[in-house]
Chain A
Amino acid sequence: EPEVTQTPSHQVTQMGQEVILRCVPISNHLYFYWYRQILGQKVEFLVSFYNNEISEKSEIFDDQFSVERPDGSNFTLKIRSTKLEDSAMYFCASVGIVVRILSYEQYFGPGTRLTVT
């Protein structure tokens, strides 16, 4: 069964450093998302991406964050200057073919654990 993959599984970085989290969505999927989950807290939406541009972003997704789909397969989340509070699990998700009209499912990757020290 096709699945969303994410690399690395765990990233440790120092405060102020740039990190790039990578995702490979399911082939032929059209919509892409990033979510994050701080330890012990809810899963929070960060950004959605469609047709090579951001569709929606949350308040969390400030100027330190950016997303890119550099080629036909990868979808990346960049944090320019990491802060301690960026430590979290980051999940990528994608949506593809509509199974039924007006309904669809988001498929999530296994996540990248980002630890900022």
Chain B
Amino acid sequence: DAKTTQPPSMDCAEGRAANLPCNHSTISGNEYVYWYRQIHSQGPQYIIHGLKNNETNEMASLIITEDRKSSTLILPHATLRDTAVYYCIVRGSNFGNEKLTFGTGTRLTIIP
């Protein structure tokens, strides 16, 4: 799996959009970009994933650059409950049977 690089920490004001960047310059054509988050010591929580098109769901938006070497997770209206460690993970498309390799992620703090 391709390696990812994320800033170790970020702050964002409550109510503003939180934009979390991720570099994955060695991503290959069949690898997806996944985002998970971990609130305190809870189990990681899936947020969103994408291959090459931008994606949006009820939690967030994912913007992937055209060359797929980087992406940005956007939390449109951050709340205090969004304070967590966010992980950008690149993984293949081996149906079902594929582990997640977590890095150190970005610790996002939402400021009241």
Number of interface residues of B (CB under 8 A): 22
Q: Known interface pairs A42-B104, A103-B32, A103-B93. Does A56 touch B43 (Cβ–Cβ under 8 Å)?
A: no
Pair B41/A111 contact, Cβ less than 8 Å: yes
Could you tell me which residues of chain B, from 92 to 112, have a CB within 8 Å of some CB in chain A? 93, 95-97, 99-104
Q: Does A15 sit within 8 A of B, measured CB to CB?
A: no
Measured between alpha carbons, how far is A32 from B80 in the docked complex, in Å?
32
Contacts of B42 in A (CB 8 A): 110-111
Contacts of A20 in B (CB 8 A): none
Q: How many A-B residue pairs have CB under 8 A?
A: 60
Q: Does A44 sit within 8 A of B, measured CB to CB?
A: yes
Please encode chain B, from 32 to 43, with 1 for each CB lying within 8 Å of some chain A CB and 0 for all others: 100000100111
Pair B43/A108 contact, Cβ less than 8 Å: yes
Contacts of B93 in A (CB 8 A): 102-103
Contacts of A81 in B (CB 8 A): none
Q: Known interface pairs A89-B41, A102-B93, A103-B93. Does A45 touch B46 (Cβ–Cβ under 8 Å)?
A: no
Closest Cβ of chain B to A88, distance in Å, is 11
Measured between alpha carbons, how far is A95 from B43 in the docked complex, in Å?
14
Number of interface residues of A (CB under 8 A): 30
Pair A50/B97 contact, Cβ less than 8 Å: yes
Scoring A43, A56, A109 by chain B CB atoms within 10 A of each residue's CB, the highest score goes to A43
Q: Does B49 sit within 8 A of A, measured CB to CB?
A: yes
Q: Known interface pairs A91-B43, A103-B32, A107-B46. Does A43 touch B99 (Cβ–Cβ under 8 Å)?
A: no
Q: Does B21 sit within 8 A of A, measured CB to CB?
A: no
Binding site for A on B (CB under 8 A): 30, 32, 38, 41-46, 49, 51, 87, 93, 95-97, 99-104
